[in-house]
Structure 1
C-alpha cells in the first residue's frame, strides 16, 4: 500500500510540475476565479498579525501570499510537492514585495516541521489530490499548535461546477474512459458533505464547520475557456491525450456548441461551487 501511495505522489509531483507553465500563463484569471474560496479561508482563520501560518498545496502562492501580506509580525511557509509551482509563487511574492514568506518543497504526508509549530493552516484545493487524505489530516493536526486553526477548500459536486463538467461531460460522451477507482485522487473526491469534516474529526480536531462558497470563471469567450481547460485542467488534458485528432476536433466543436447555447450573448462567465471546511485543535 505504501508503495502504491508513493507512486501516486510521484505522479502528482510530475503532473503539477508539467502544468506549471499553464498556471503561470493564466495566473491572474485563475487567481481571480479562486479568490472567493481563498477569502473565505482567510476570514474563518481569523488571523492575528504575529501568527505563524502554513499554506499547503500552495501552487502559485494563494491564499498564502494574501495571508502573508496581512501579517505585520508573522510569517507564512508555502509548501507544495511541485517545485516549479513554488518558483512561480516566489516570483509572485517578489513582484508584490512580500518578504515574510518562504517556500518549501515537501510531502503533506510527511511534513518537515515539529509538533505544535503553527498557529494556522490553509489549504485551498489540495485535499482531493493527496494520496492518503487521513494521513495528511493527521500531519496537519500534528503541526498545529493547541488552539490552532485550519481551513481548507474542496470542490463541490460536478452539477455545481459547469466550468469543468462542461468539457468533461463532452469528453465522457465521446470517449470510453476507464472508471476512476473509488477514493482515487480527483477533483470531486471530497464533494460529498462530511468527507473532510470526518477526516478532521478522526484527527482529533474540533469545532468543525462547513460553508458553501460560489465563484465565477470569467473567460469572456469560448476560445479562452477552451485554452484554459487545455493548459490547467489535468483531467481534460489527460483524457484528450488519448484521443485521435478527429475525436479532439469533435469534442472541441461540441464544447463550443454547448457554451454558445448556454451563453448566447457570447459572455462566458461560468459558475462554480466549493466547500470551505474549518476546524480547531483543542
Structure 2
C-alpha cells in the first residue's frame, strides 16, 4: 500500500463525540463523556474501544457498543497495572538484593567493574557508563556521604546497585559469564540462568508499560519471556498458553512470589478485580478456560 501524508485535522471534544456517535458508539451521558475525553484523551481511550469495532478500516462499532463499556475497560486496565506494579517492586528489590549478596561474596565489593566477569566487553563498558551517569545524578544521602569520604570513582555494589535502574541490573546479569555464581542467583528463584535472564528482561519491559500508563490488559508483549523447561517450584501447563499475553506475565509473577512472598494474595485480589468488572474478556488476556484449576492460581 502506498504511503501518504497525514492530513487529518484536530477535532474539538464536541466533534470527537459526534464522530463516535456517527460510527455507532452509544454515548448516554454526553457531558461525562466530554469530561473523560478532556481528562484522558480520545487517542488513549481509543485503545479500549478498538475491540468493539466491527469494521476496523472504517472505525465502525459493533451493535450495542457503549462509551461506558470502553471506560470500564480503561478503569480495569488502570487497576491491573497498579496491581502488577505493586508486585514488580517486590520482585525487583528481591532480585537486586540476591545479586548484590551472591556476587559481592564471590567476587568482592566492586565486582560489577571487573570486566573479566562479563561476556561482552563492549556491553560491559556501556553498562559502566550508565552506572557512572546514575552515580553522578544521585542525590541520595548515602551516596553523598561516600563521595565526601572516599576517593573511589564508584561505590561498592551494595550502594551502587541501590541507585541503579532495573534495566541496568538486567544487562549486568545477562552479560555475566555463564557459571556457578550466575546459576546460583537464578536457582534461588527456581529457574535456570537463561530463563531467569529472559524473565528479567521481560520485567523491565512490563514495568515500562505500566509506568507509562500504557494499555496492558489485552496487549501482545513485544518482549516475551521464555517458557521454562524445568523449574524447582510450582509452575503450570503452559503448552497451550501464549507467552505474549497478560496471563503468562501474571503467572510469571506468581511463580517468583513463591520465593519472595509465599503468603501473597495476588490471586485473591485479581479475582476480586475481575468480579468488579464482569464484562472483561479474560480470553483477550490469554487466559485459558481452565486457568482456575491450575495449582499456581489456587
Normalising by the residue count of structure 2, what TM-score does the alignment of the two structures yield? 0.26
Larger C-alpha radius of gyration, 1 or 2? 2
